Structures are given as structure tokens and as C-alpha cells.
Amino acid sequence: MKSLLIVILLPLFALNIQINSNNFVGKWVGDDKNTVGTIIFDKDGYAAFEIDEQLIGGKEFVLHGKKGQMTYSINKETKPFQIDFTLTKLASGEQKTILAIAEFINADVINFAVSFDNIRPTSFDDGNGIILTRDKP
């Protein structure tokens, strides 16, 4: 009986460990209101949003004639994970933070919600949620 319980519970714990330690690094694609959007997390801590073939973010980008960069940090201690995207104007150092939450559905699919008004989303169902799928090269 004891070994049967271990056989049943072990895969459940392994799945939980795999998802909690999963790596966000990569390109994630989602379809929001008939617009395909992409979020790219790189291994060096830079992030970028790509919407309608316009890339905003990364180590250096230009928006409205000003150079900037976008970094990210992930708090994996919370459920759902909390993600902060920090946009920095390179000339002035001025920063703006975009707050988001994410939870893994599986290793290659995440439920993602973002807010651009400085309030972290608390759920994925209030119009700001999107399902993102890892784009495998």
C-alpha cells in the first residue's frame, strides 16, 4: 500500500516541481482580440513586447525618438508569479514599471495578465488575461 501511494503521488510532485522551476526565457506568443502579440524574455534579464510587428523593449529600442530598454524581474515565490517589466529612458534614467502576473498551465503554455496603469492584476479573467504559448524554434 505504501509503495502504491508513492507511485501515485510522485508524478504529481514531479509535475509541480517542473512547473514551479520552469524557465520563462524564450519567445511567448498569444492572440488577443485578433492581434498576435509576443513577449520575449532573454537570459540576461531583458524583455520585449512585439505587437503588429513593432518591437518595444530589449536591451535598446527607440520609441518616439527616444532610446530605451526594458528589463524584467520575476517573483516565483508568489502564486501566481509576479512579473515586473521596467522601461527605462536611457538618456534620463526615468523609469516606468508595468506589472503582470503569470501561471504555468504546462511547461510551454502560460496564463498571463498585464496592467499598464500601475496596478498589478489579481486575476486572469477581468479582460487583461491572455494565454501565451512558447514559440519553439
The 10s digit of each residue's pLDDT in 99-114 is 999 999 998 999 999 9
Selected residue with higher pLDDT from 5 and 137:
137
The 10s digit of each residue's pLDDT in 40-73 is 999 999 999 998 788 999 999 998 899 999 999 9
**Residue 34 pLDDT grade (very low, low, confident, very high; cuts 50, 70, 90):** low
Specify the CATH number for 23-135; select among 2.120.10, 2.60.40, 2.40.128, 1.10.15: 2.40.128
Instruction: Specify the pLDDT at position 18.
Output: 44
Residues 6+ apart with CB under 8 A from 105: 111, 131
Predicted TM-score (pTM) of the model is: 0.80
Nearest-CA neighbor of 70 among 100, 92, 40? 40
Instruction: Specify the pLDDT at position 23.
Output: 82
